[in-house]
Structure 1
C-alpha cells in the first residue's frame, strides 16, 4: 500500500522530535502486546522460541517501529507494514480460520499502545493536543493494517476457492471418463476438491436454455454446463428425498437421469442419460420432469437398436404391416396390450377401453394374419419389443 492509501498518517503538526524518544522502547512495547494477545487469542498462544512465536514478535515490532518512524515523514511508504498484514490475512485464510483472532490482536495492540502513550505523555511532557493527535493517528493506522489484512484474506480465499473449483472440474471430468479412473485416483482428487465421495452416483444429462439462468446446485453436485453435452454428477441419487431434490433443483430444464452406478462407472450412467435426453428431445419420451432412464428400459433398448428393430418388423410382422393404416393400427395396439396382459382378453379390453368381444375378434384376426408367431415362446420377448417400438415409439400409422 502506498502513502496515498494512508491519508492522515502521520498526523500533521506532530514533530518527529516529540515521538522519536519512543524508539528505544519499541521492543518492550511489542513484548507487552504479544503477552496480552496470547492471553486473549488462544490460536496465537505459541512458545516464544517457536518459529511462529518469533515471527509474531517480529511482525509486531515492525508494526510499532513503522508507526513511530512515520512521524516527520509525510512521504512514508506503508507498503512494508501493510504487506505484513496482507500476508497474515492470507495465512489465516489458508489455515481455514476467520479473521476474528487477528482483529482481536490488532485491537489489543491498540489498547496497549494507548496505555503506553498516556505514560509517555507524562514522561515526555506532551501536550494534550499532541497526545490526541498521536492517538488519532494510531486509530487511522490500525484501521489501515486491519484493511490490509482483510484484503489479503479475501484475495487468498478467492485463490483457494479458484483452486478448489479447478479440482472440482477435474474431479467432475474424471467421474465420467472412459476408460474409468480408479477409486484411489478419484479419492485423491476428491480430497483436494474437499468433496466427500459418495457410495454411488448417477449422471444427469441436461439441456439448459441457451442464454438462460442456470440452476443453482447444492455444493455436493458437480456440473459441466458448458460441455457439448452438459451434465451433472449427482451423489447418492437413491437416498431419502433425493427424487424431490433433483426435481426442485432442475425445475423446467429438460433432463434425463442415468442409472445409479458405483463411483468408477460414471461413463456408463452418462451414456444412457444422453440416450434418454435424446429421446426427450425427439418427443419420444416425456419431458415434464427429470426422466429416469431405468423407468424406460424398453424404449431405450429399442431406440438404441432402431435400425435392427425396423428391419425385424418387416420380417416378423410383415403380414400385419402390409395392411392399410386404418386396419393395422387397432390390431397392432391390441396385440401389444394383449401380450402385456398375458393374453388376457378381459384385462386388454379394460386397458383399451373397448368391449371384450372386440378384443376377441381382433385376436382371432391376428391369429389368422400372423399364425404361430403370436404364441411362440421363443419369440415372445422379440414380439413385445417389436410392437413396443412400432406402437409406442414410431407409431403404427407410419409406413
Structure 2
C-alpha cells in the first residue's frame, strides 16, 4: 500500500537543553512512565480497554516508548534547528492507521493522546524536579511536551485519515448501512447480509441510544468500538439528535457499565435486545425521549410511564369514564375527591398513608372516602373498576 510521506505539521523550536544528569534520570524511568501512561489510558478511555493484548497491544506499547524516547532526544538537544525525531513521527502515523483498522474513532485516539500526555508529564516532571531541574528549564520542558504531543497526534490523525480514505472508507459505509437496516427493522436475512459485507461480528444483544448530535463524539470515546451509527436520516429521530447501537448491555452488570460511561450526556438508553431486534430498542428509546426527562435517562426505570403514555387518547377516554360520576359536582369538590380516590387506590385504602400524602386529617380522608362510596357504590370493590381507575389516575 502506498502512503504519503510523513512530515511534521509544525517545527518544534523550543530548546530545553536538559542537564545530562536530569536526562539520565528521566531515561532510567522511561519504561515506568510509558507503562503508567498506558494504564491511565485504559482506565479513562473505555474503548481501549481490550486493546492491550495481542499484536495491536505490542504496537501501541512500542509507539508510546518510541514517542517518549524521541521526546527525550528533543529535550536534550542544544540546536533549535534540529528536526523532530523522525521514527517517533512515523510510529505515530502507523499507530493512527492501525487504530482506524481496529475500528476506533479519531476522537478516541485523540482522547488517548491527551490522557497519555497528562500522565507522562506528571511523572516526568516529578522525576526532573527530583533530579534538580531549574524552574526555567521546567517551563520550557512543559512547552516542549505539549508541542511534541501536538506533532504526534497530528501524525496519528493523518494516518487514521489515510487508512479510512483507502481500505476503511468502504467498510465504514457498509457499517452505516448496517446500522440503518437494524434501526428500520429490515428483514433478518438482509441485515445478516449487511453485517457480512461490513465484516462486523454480531454481538448477542444491542442497545439503542438517542442523544443530541453535539454529544455523539464524546459518547463514542467511551463506548465499545463496535458501536454502530447510521449516517443517513433515520425515521422518527428528533431534529438535532442521533442514534447509536451499542453492543451488549443484555445483563444488569453491563448496563450499569454503559450508564456510567454515558454520565454527563443527555442520552436516552433503550433496552438491551437480541441484535436482530435492535429496532425495538430504538423505538423504546424514542418513546422514552418523548417523556421530556432531562439528563441521562434509563428507559428501564420508566416502564410504567411508557405503558401509561402508549396511547394518550385512550388514557384520556379512560380517565373521563372513571371520573364521569363526579362531573356534576363543583370543580373544587371534584378535584379533592379525585385526589382522594387516586391516593386511596395507590395506598390500598390505608387511611393514615392517604392523609399523610394529601396533608389532611385522617377524619377528612374518612369523610371523603364516604362520599366516594356514595357516588361509586359497589364499583369501588370491583377489581375491573379498580384497575381502570388506577391506570387512569396514576
Q: TM-score, normalised by structure 1?
A: 0.50
Query: How far did residue 387 of structure 1 move?
Result: 0.8
CA contact (8 A) 2:205 2:275 kept: yes
Pair 1:333 & 2:336 matched: no
Superposed, 1:138-153 pairs within 5 Å as none
Pair 1:176 & 2:171 matched: no
C-alpha spacing 1:154/1:278, structure 2 compared with 1 (3 Å) = closer
Query: How far did residue 313 of structure 1 move?
Result: 2.5
User: Which residue pairs with 1:297 in the alignment?
Assistant: 303
Q: Secondary structure at the match of 2:377?
A: helix
Pair 1:159 & 2:171 matched: no
Query: How far did residue 165 of structure 1 move?
Result: 1.3
User: Which residue pairs with 1:8 in the alignment?
Assistant: none
Aligned equivalents of 1:249, 1:297: Cα separation in 2: 20
Q: Deviations over 1:353-385 (max 9, x none)?
A: 544333322222222233333221122221111
Q: Deviations over 1:144-199 (max 9, x none)?
A: xxxxxxx9997455322222211211221122233x432x6545543543444221
Within the candidate set 313, 319, 333, 2:319 is matched to 313
C-alpha spacing 1:153/1:241, structure 2 compared with 1 (3 Å) = closer
Q: Secondary structure at the match of 1:222?
A: coil
User: Which residue pairs with 2:218 in the alignment?
Assistant: 215
Aligned equivalents of 1:322, 1:204: Cα separation in 2: 47
C-alpha spacing 1:305/1:360, structure 2 compared with 1 (3 Å) = same
Please give the root-mean-square deviation of Cα atoms over the aligned residues, in Å. Answer: 3.5
Aligned equivalents of 2:170, 2:202: Cα separation in 1: 19
Q: TM-score, normalised by structure 2?
A: 0.50
Within the candidate set 187, 195, 202, 1:190 is matched to 195
Q: Deviations over 1:54-103 (max 9, x none)?
A: xxxxxxxxxxxxxxxxxxxxxxxxxxxxxxxxxxx9xx98xx79xxxxxx
Query: How far did residue 247 of structure 1 move?
Result: 4.9
User: Which residue pairs with 1:274 in the alignment?
Assistant: 286
Within the candidate set 370, 377, 380, 1:371 is matched to 377
Aligned equivalents of 1:324, 1:225: Cα separation in 2: 56
Unmatched segments (≥5 aa) in structure 2: 6-93, 103-157
C-alpha spacing 1:314/1:181, structure 2 compared with 1 (3 Å) = same
Within the candidate set 223, 246, 253, 2:259 is matched to 246
User: Which residue pairs with 1:35 in the alignment?
Assistant: none
Unmatched segments (≥5 aa) in structure 1: 6-88, 98-150, 281-285, 389-399
Aligned equivalents of 1:250, 1:190: Cα separation in 2: 30
- Looking at both structures, which has the greater relative contact order when contacts are Cα pairs under 8 Å and sequence separation is at least 6? 2
User: Which residue pairs with 1:231 in the alignment?
Assistant: 243
Q: Secondary structure at the match of 1:201?
A: strand
CA contact (8 A) 1:247 1:290 kept: no
Query: How far did residue 308 of structure 1 move?
Result: 1.9
